[in-house]
Amino acid sequence: MTRTAFITGATSGFGLAAARRFVAGGWKVVATGRRGERLQALVDELGADRVHPAVFDVRDAAAMDAALAALPEAFAGIDVLVNNAGLALGTAPAQQASLEDWRTMIDTNVTALVTLTHRLLPKLIERRGAIINISSVAGVYPYPGGNVYGGTKAFVSQFSLNLRSDLHGTGVRVTTIEPGMAHTEFTLVRTHGNQAASDALYRDANPMSAEDIAEQIYYVATLPPHLNINRLEIMPVTQSFAGFQVFRG
């Protein structure tokens, strides 16, 4: 039986690469995002029998419900949910950050993720499926300017572990993937469209690629069903840790 992955944020970065990886592995994919033209391009590239485009803003629960209700029969049985859609906005310290940016990150990275998970849990339990939540090293290690973004990802990691607990005995697997720096549209979004800042961050840094993370997502999804990776933290070799800071004065 062909398995189906429901991948949020498949118009760019990890989600787009994951959609390609799953289809290459023989899966069907429900690909979501706001940019419908990109999802249509993915359908054109991979085939309408392999990819179903679901265009909605994950923060809009009614639009999410409508998209779920409109899933064609061939894509309605979900084996793996990849909660990937998300974003960081801003790098300013908390005392200078935009409250609107904070709320957007919480609405997207937390509220939308739990809403979709809640909606799809019955289907996932029925199929003894898997949930793969994309968190971040920013949810594990603090850094200046990480404030609410890191907070949302810490939520994702802890929510995943708690889901594991609640789903005990159902056969449903839950994994959180915590990547470090990867070259996608992430920094362009974080800097509100500053291409030069995005280029500067990745230049000469040899960051991970979207495909590197897609491979990890696919690996987790295709493990034997008796194995559960709880968390998978992955960084480029060029990124590591700095020490505590001490203010004197």
Question: Residues in the site for ligand 8X3, rule: CB under 6 A?
Answer: 136-138, 180-181
Based on the shown chain and the rule CB under 6 A, indicate whether residue 57 belongs to the binding site for ligand NDP: yes
State the DSSP H helix or E strand holding residue 31, giving kind and residue range, or none if neither. strand 28-33
Q: Which stretch binds ligand NDP (CB under 6 A): 11-19, 121-129, 191-199, 238-246?
A: 11-19
Closest residue to ligand NDP, based on beta-carbon distance: 13
Contacts of 81 (CB under 8 A, 6+ apart): 5, 6, 116, 117, 120, 124, 129, 130, 131, 132
Show the tokens assigned to 52. 């179903």
> Amino acid identity, residue 23?
V
Decide if 171 contacts 126 (C-beta within 8 A).
no
Based on the shown chain and the rule CB under 6 A, indicate whether residue 215 belongs to the binding site for ligand NDP: no
Selection from ligand NDP, ligand 8X3, none that 103 binds (CB < 5 to 8 A by kind) is none
d(CA 217, CA 7): 11
> What is the residue whose two structure tokens read 């690996």?
219
Our answer to whether residue 219 is catalytic in this structure is no
Show the tokens assigned to 105. 């990150």
- For the CA atoms of 244, 176, 98, 236, what is the dihedral angle to 10 degrees? 50
For residues 139-178, which are near ligand NDP according to CB under 6 A? none
Q: Which stretch binds ligand NDP (CB under 6 A): 30-38, 95-103, 121-129, 196-204?
A: 30-38
State the DSSP H helix or E strand holding residue 32, giving kind and residue range, or none if neither. strand 28-33
Which of the following is catalytic: 143, 149, 202, 218? 149
Query: What is the nearest approach in angstroms of ligand NDP to the Cβ of residue 171?
Result: 26
Query: What is the nearest approach in angstroms of ligand 8X3 to the Cβ of residue 90?
Result: 12
When binding is defined by CB under 6 A, the residue of 3, 7, 14, 46 that contacts ligand NDP is 14
Complex with ligand NDP: residue 127 or 211, whichever CB lies closer? 211
Show the tokens assigned to 167. 């789903």
Show the tokens assigned to 122. 């019955």
Based on the shown chain and the rule CB under 6 A, indicate whether residue 27 belongs to the binding site for ligand NDP: no
Q: Among all residues, which ones are annotated catalytic?
A: 149
Binding site for ligand NDP (CB under 6 A): 9-15, 33-35, 57-59, 84-87, 108, 134, 136, 179, 181-182, 184-186, 189, 210
